[in-house]
Amino acid sequence: MGVGSATGRGVEPDWAGRLRSVGLRMTQPRQRVLTALERQGHATPEELGAALAADGQATLPASTVYRNLESLAQAGLINHSHVHHGAPSYHLPQHGDHLHLVCRQCGAVIEADAELARDVARNLQQAHGFDADVTHMAIHGRCRSCARTASTPQKRTDERRT
């Protein structure tokens, strides 16, 4: 898929036109990064680098991938969130607004509707005058399975039977 191709959601992105509107041009590396990101959904720069290395075209240096991610984000063609403490995860805006619920115990990442955080944003606005963007954020905690396991009493191995 490339410039002007369908994303699978019926959206026809005009990537080149959007880049031109902010004074940038569509280059082959930018198009490859966008296409790889479209296929991946979410991806870190390293994951995109691996996808680009496997696309059958010339290898893109990591610095080129990072520079293109930065320029595409500044142009508003892609968004990012910090799901983990490492590199950000990038995605196309068509991927939709959602929360990432990140389990600190098992590492699972669950997508949830961003609408669930609207009350938090409203409370922050009322209490601090802060206009929070909750359209694509990560919330860390424990998933249902890990929370259930943690709340289940476990027999201690040092208990003696009587």
Pick the CATH number of 97-152 from 3.30.70.260, 3.30.1490.190, 3.50.40.10, 3.40.605.10: 3.30.1490.190
Residue ranges covered by each domain of the chain: 1-96, 97-152
Residue 29 φ then ψ, to 5°: -60, -40
* Token pair belonging to 123: 């409370």
Condensed to tens digits (0 to 9), the pLDDT of residues 44-88 reads: 899 899 999 998 999 899 999 999 999 999 888 888 876 666 667
Q: What is the mean pLDDT of the chain?
A: 80
Q: How confident is the model at residue 2 (pLDDT cuts 50, 70, 90)?
A: very low
